[in-house]
Structure formats: C-alpha cells, structure tokens
Amino acid sequence: MTKAISKVKTIKVIDLFAGIGGIRLGFERVYHGKIESVFSSEWNKYSVQTYQANFGMENVHGDITKVDISDIPYHDILLAGFPCQPFSQAGLKKGFEDTRGTLFFDIARILEAKKPKAFLLENVKQLRGHDKGRTLEVIIKTLKEIGYKNVQYTLLKARDFGLPQNRERLYIVGFLDDTVPFEFPKPLSVETRVGDVLEQKVDEKYTISDRLWAGHQRRKIENRRKGKGFGYSIFTYDSPYTSTISARYYKDGSEILIAQEGKNPRKVTPKEASRLQGFPEDFKIPVSDTQAYQQFGNSVPVKVIEAIAKEMLPHLS
C-alpha cells in the first residue's frame, strides 16, 4: 500500500454536504499530502466555522442547490455525506427523473457533468430499507445511468474499525472504470473500550441534573411498560463501545451517558464526542458545546473513511 501511495499524483476532490470535513479528513490522512480539495459546500454557518478552523480559510460554498455547475471544477473524486430526503415517488418513475427534487439530484447532476473517476457517498443505514428498498434502488440505477456501471454499497460499523461506538452507516462507492476490482474494507478485529476516549478530568457541568436524571429513569420505566425499548443508555470505562451519537445529543444526552461513582451520570464532552468519531487530537472545536454535539453527531467515523480510502487509492493510481 505504501508503494502505491508513493506513486499517486495529487488527487483532486470535491467535498459536498461537507459538515465539518470528516470524509475529506479521512482521505487526507491516508493520502499524506496528495489530496487537493478544489471545491467544498456546506450551508450551516457553524459547521463552516469549524471546517475553516481546521482546513484553512478557503472558500466554502453554501447551498449546493444554488451552485451553478460551471462553478464546480473538474476533480478525480466526489465525496458526499448527503442528507436523504424521502423520495415520495420512488418506484413510480424510472432512474434519473426519480431523483429530481431531492438533494441526491445535485450529486447526480455534478457526476453527470464532470464525470470524476470515482465517488464515495455516505448515508444513514435506514436508507437501505427506505420505501422497501426502492429509494436505494433508484439511487443505484441513477448512478449507473449516468455512466458509473461499477457501483457497490455496504453497511460498515465504526466499532469494527477501532472506534468504541456502535455507529453503522451505508457507504456507496462508484468508479467510471467498470473493470476496477474494488472491495470494501474488512473489519479490523481489534478490541475497543469506551475508557480509551474518555477524558481524565471533566467539568461538573457535564454531570446531568437530578431533575434530568429522574426524567430519564421515569421515561425508561414508562417505555418498558409500553413494550418500547427506548430510554437512556449508560456506559462505563470498560464498556466495549457506546451507542450511536446523534445530532440531537445536545438535548439531553440520553443515548450515551457515562457512569460516575457516587453521583449522577454525565454526558460525554465535545472532545470525547470528537474521539468517538475518530477525529485527531488536534482537531479544533471553535463552537459552543451545543453546536459541537450537533456537528459530531452529524459527522462520519473518520477511521472508517480511512479504511475505505485505502481500498480506493490503488485503483486511482
């Protein structure tokens, strides 16, 4: 792999629905200075603030639906963690037409116009079963109609790639060259432990209040009585992994609470949320805790992206 990387020239990427740059970061950490981001797009101003704090004050375009195709430069790889709006008519029409009116259409129109060598798309695992599988079927069919006959997708878990978080996401990879023998990375078979990402000293403000703790316990009892599995989840230093951190984590932290001896459990800190997603220690968090939780909850597990990038690289050399 090292030999392959050394022979690769600079690879140009565009970073769509960029968030705080998790997908781009995964590629940069593998390609060792050989990645050049020639275009990025993100509409949330707080995410842009974090993005620019870590990647430099480059221009980040806003709403991709308002960007003219002529303003997007040619590139080798399109990267996108796109929001998937429901396809209200998926399955009623065919192929490319079915994607109009969704944010996926903006990816499709760029791929059709610029024809990069490859792409990586990321989305929630529920996309695979949305509308009984028809939504994903339309997406794959659309990509093939555009010219990407070589399209593969799979679900990958963060905990299978060294991160103590049970985060499962759908990844779609495509190449213009239909002879490329791409395969998704295999699980690393390494043990994970929540304690490895926890800070030694944590501000008391992250300990949840008596009122919130009582509410969590009451709701869990009520949900159990109704036959629902919803409720808070507590983890310790020795837990192998946490549940998935979400963009709503800032509200009450219920999906990931850390046990504390002799007092109420606490939320993870923004730095711990960053580590759960595999961001490096020097990753800057210039925003409030509320915004940070939303940003990391919306982001990607960087180590999974790194693993995918390692598999894509040899086919672009």
Q: Stretch 172-181: mean pLDDT, rounded?
A: 95
Give the residue numbers spanning the domain of 139.
2-189+296-316
Residue 290 maps to a domain: no
CATH code of residue 85 = 3.40.50.150
Residue 130 maps to a domain: yes
Yes or no: say if 309 and 23 are a contact pair by the CB < 8 Å rule: no
Taking residue 98's Cβ as centre, other Cβ atoms within 10 Å add up to 24
Burial call 248-285: b when 16+ CB within 10 Å, e when fewer:
ebbeebbbbbbeeeeeebbbbbbbbbbbbbbbeeebeb
Q: How many structural domains are present in the chain?
A: 2
> pLDDT tens, 23-54?
999 999 998 889 999 999 999 999 999 999 99
Residue 117 maps to a domain: yes
Q: Stretch 2-9: mean pLDDT, rounded?
A: 56
Residue 221 maps to a domain: yes
Kindly state whether residues 177 and 312 are assigned to the same domain: yes
- Of residues 223 and 160, the one with the higher pLDDT is 160
Of 21-35, 73-87, 108-122, 140-154, the poorest mean pLDDT is in 73-87
User: Which pTM does this prediction carry?
Assistant: 0.91
Q: How far apart are the first and last CA of the chain?
A: 11
Single-letter amino acid code for the residue at 193: R
β-strand pairing of 77-80 with 11-16: parallel
Residue 289 maps to a domain: no
Is residue 2 scored above 60 in pLDDT? no
Q: Stretch 77-106: mean pLDDT, rounded?
A: 67
Q: Stretch 218-240: mean pLDDT, rounded?
A: 86
Identify the helix (H) or strand (E) that includes residue 31: helix 22-31
CATH code of residue 217 = 3.90.120.10
Instruction: Give the whole-angstrom CA distance, residue 200 versus residue 73.
Output: 46
Kindly state whether residues 172 and 213 are assigned to the same domain: no
Q: Which residues are catalytic?
A: 84
Kindly state whether residues 181 and 198 are assigned to the same domain: no
